Amino acid sequence: MKAKIVVDMDSRAFEDAPASELGRILRNIMFGVELWGEVRTVLKDSDGMTVGTFWIE
């Protein structure tokens, strides 16, 4: 079994503080897995743009 995360960091939300924005997205994945048992989700940046996917295979 593997967990896969793909994030395109070319959006405007990553311009000023890319590490902070990526951390926010990774925390959202963590909460989704721990609290709701998510095994697949679309990732959104702080502007609401789709920037990637997370899934367990």
Q: Region 19-23: what's the mean pLDDT?
A: 98
Per-residue pLDDT at 20 exceeds 90: yes
Q: Give the number of domains in the chain.
A: 1
Please give the model's pTM, rounded to 2 decimal places.
0.91
What stretch of H or E contains 16?
none
What is the Cα 28 distance to its own chain's centre? 7
Q: Using pLDDT thresholds of 50, 70 and 90, give the confidence band for residue 17.
A: very high
- CB-based contacts of 23, cutoff 8 Å, min separation 6: none
Domain hosting residue 36, numbered range = 3-56
Q: How far apart are CA 18 and CA 41, in angstroms?
A: 21
Over 90: is that where the pLDDT of 2 sits?
yes
